[in-house]
Amino acid sequence: MSKVKIFAPVEEKERPAIEAPITDAESFHAVVDSRRSVRVYAKDPIPPEVMDACLDAALKAPNSSNLQAWEIHHVVDAKKKAALVEACLSQPAAGTAPELVVFVGRPDLWRRNNRWMIEAFDKAGNVPDGAYQYYRKITPLVYDQGALGWRTPFKWILTRWRGMSRPYPREPIGKWGMRIWAHKSTALACAHFMLAMRAHGFDTCPMEGMDSARVKGILGLPRQAVVTMVISAGKRAEGGVYGPRLRFDRQHFVHRH
């Protein structure tokens, strides 16, 4: 790795003061607690401005290196929608939904977005040198897997070798690693979208019970794109939630060290 430190501290004088606004925890938990996967929707439409606000909320999700390697495909064309329902195995969660949105990871677009980042810095001016260095030197090292992934074995060896003597970032390695990398951030965008919908009084169902190859075909996506989830949205019908929420005991999942 080059001499550039990945997470070098930024000088205090270079950090703008962005205050944490006061928020309402009770409302947040009401949204989280009332979000349920809805399998049957009522006919009520979602107003376009609500749809837009929730799509914008999705795009505010935290994401790796802020490279925003995602796309959101809101399917409105009736023919495409029918095909998408079929690709979602004709699940009622898709078939009864007024809106269908496909969340797609685009690991193949990291380089374009990296360029956009540098251009945005140029435009903004006054960007700390460390930030430039990150996008000029570090991201290419971390995300460039080489044509047809030729760098993969070298990265694998280098990572293990360097990691023996000091902490060293292990992922992403190879084309599959890049897919996981894109899925992670895109899944966070999905969560933002679903919670935003609930905050507006609407409901959602995330679906991976679908034929991703067909979904990609319907949307005209390239081979490298990954379908993270299809999310249906609308107003829940009576009985649209199939039962009370079930979670295993938190002791199995929350560990203190």
Residues binding ligand FMN (CB under 6 A): 36-37, 39, 91, 93, 205-209, 229, 245
**Residue 27 CB-density burial (10 A; 0-12 exposed, 13-18 middle, 19+ buried):** exposed
Peptide bond before 153: cis, by omega within 30 degrees of 0? no
Rounded to whole angstroms, how far apart are CA atoms 8 and 165?
A: 20
Q: Whose CA is closest to 155, among 174, 136, 168?
A: 174
Q: How far is the CB of 207 from ligand FMN (least distance, A)?
A: 4
Q: Are 230 and 211 in contact (CB under 8 A)?
A: no
User: Measured from the CB atom, is 56 or 208 closer to ligand FMN?
Assistant: 208
User: Measured from the CB atom, is 145 or 228 closer to ligand FMN?
Assistant: 228
* Residues facing 70 on adjacent strands: 105
Query: Element (H or E) spanning 204, and its range?
Result: strand 203-207
Q: How far is the CB of 36 from ligand FMN (least distance, A)?
A: 4
Q: Whose CA is closest to 109, among 152, 63, 153?
A: 63
Q: How far is the CB of 44 from ligand FMN (least distance, A)?
A: 20
Chain position whose Cβ is nearest to ligand FMN: 209
Q: Are 142 and 149 in contact (CB under 8 A)?
A: no
Q: How far is the CB of 129 from ligand FMN (least distance, A)?
A: 40
Rounded to whole angstroms, how far apart are CA atoms 76 and 132?
A: 39
User: Measured from the CB atom, is 37 or 145 closer to ligand FMN?
Assistant: 37
Q: Which two tokens stand for residue 201?
A: 């009084």
User: Measured from the CB atom, is 100 or 207 closer to ligand FMN?
Assistant: 207
Q: How far is the CB of 249 from ligand FMN (least distance, A)?
A: 16
